[in-house]
Amino acid sequence: MDFNQIRQFNFPTIIRFGAGAIKELAPYLKKEGFLNPLIVTDPQIAELSFFKIIIQDLKNNGFSTEIFSDIHKNPIKSDVYKGTELWDATNRDCLIGIGGGAALDVARAILLRINHREDLFKYDDLIGGDVYVINEVPHFITIPTTAGTGSEVGRSAIISDDITHQKKILFSPKLLAKIVFADPLLTMELPAFITAATGMDALTHNMEAFLAKNFHPMCDGIALEGMRLVSESLENAVINPDIVSRSKMLLASMMGAIAFQKGLGVVHSLAHPLSSLLDTHHGLANAVNIPYGMRFNIAGFEDRFGRMAQALNLKNTSGDSVIQFLFNFLGYINGYMKDLAEFS
Ligand SMILES: NC(=O)c1ccc[n+]([C@@H]2O[C@H](COP(=O)([O-])OP(=O)(O)OC[C@H]3O[C@@H](n4cnc5c(N)ncnc54)[C@H](O)[C@@H]3O)[C@@H](O)[C@H]2O)c1
Ligand SMILES: [Fe+2]
């Protein structure tokens, strides 16, 4: 480890976390002087009662709301263009994303497109497109309704090409939310199969971030605590959800996404093409790969696996015991994820 090298660590997002945090949204908008939000969500969430209550609450408080929900399960470029057209056509002053990773990614991509009108994929991070993200972006607020991607605290959006389905990553620190309202009550009705799959995404983020080679001891600490929270709460959140398990999963999800600024690994590298080619849910794609990807990672990282085993509260601290834990853990929730195959 070279301690003469200068590094940068970023943890900039304000997170209002806790049961009922959503009630702070209207007072916050008023305090900041915003009256006309564009709200981005997905078509299923738009029909759920908690979403309707949020919108009604905003209307009761005198806000003019426009809702954009015309998006795909694995969002595509034309979703982003349509949402931006609604922004252009209505007189909006801020952007609110409410939903899981899909809705929040579309919201973030619209945020980028509002003041960056080249082809969306010119900003693809893989080809260095982040350097073109130079203009200001509107005020952005995120409200998660799943506990998995942690996209609410992220700075990237995953959007697929309409025709090739190839996933592109739009990335810029400018795309961070100014504030997150993380209310576990909004996740209480999340169906078991989505809870299971999104929870496995959160576990994968924490484990892969911890193993990523970059030097980031702060992210390492967050990732270890994140995986501990998943190990003690995901089963309950799936099988017998209560506010404690839902709260811990929401925290673990945000911690995973904060930690993976350090990097991800082979499990996500395999999950992305699975989702692109077969439209598999992102969390499910991670879940089917994680035991095998982690086994592939053990050699040379025995010490790190030992620390993960401790965080997961395993008696044996060998790499193999972590793999066995993953197979057992998936065994508890697998039956629930089967429903996702039909969902995808
Ligand atoms: N930006 C990032 O850092 C990042 C990281 C990982 C994944 N992703 C992306 O996130 C997406 C997956 O996100 P996800 O796992 O959150 O799933 P999702 O957003 O696809 O949501 C899954 C389903 O759950 C429903 N749902 C959401 N909240 C609900 C609630 N509270 N109650 C009932 N139903 C609810 C949705 O309508 C949807 O049908 C993928 O597109 C993936 O590419 C982004
Ligand atoms: Fe992920």
CA 307 to chain centre: 25
Look up tokens 């400018």; give the residue.
174
For ligand 1, is residue 180 a contact (CB within 6 Å)?
Answer: no
Ligand nearest to the CA of 270: 2
Condensed to tens digits (0 to 9), the pLDDT of residues 23-66 reads: 999 999 999 999 999 999 999 999 999 999 999 999 999 999 99
Name, in order, each residue with C-beta under 8 angstroms of 240's C-beta and a sequence gap of 6 or more: none
| Structure-block tokens of residue 158 | 């995953």
pLDDT digits (tens, 9 = 90+) for 225-270: 999 999 999 999 999 999 999 999 999 999 999 999 999 999 999 9
Tell me how far CA of residue 281 lies from CA of 19, 250, 251, 272, in angstroms.
27, 19, 21, 10
Nearest Cα to Cα of residue 264 among 220, 197, 206? 206
Q: How far apart are CA 279 and CA 275, in angstroms?
A: 4
pLDDT at 12: 86
Strands (E), the chain: 14-17, 37-40, 66-68, 94-99, 139-144, 156-160, 167-171, 179-182
Closest CA to 172 of 214, 137, 198: 137
Total residues found in the chain within this entry: 344
Which residue, by CA, sits nearest to atom 18 of ligand 1?
100
The model's pTM is: 0.95
Using the mean position of ligand 1's atoms as its centre, give its distance from the Cα of residue 64 in Å: 26
**Encoded tokens for 241:** 């959800």
Note the pLDDT tens digit of each residue in 65-74.
Answer: 999 999 998 8
Tell me which residue has its CA closest to atom 15 in ligand 1. 198
Q: Is the CB of 186 under 6 A from ligand 1?
A: yes
Give residue-wise pLDDT tens across range 172-221: 999 999 999 999 999 999 999 999 999 999 999 999 999 999 999 999 99
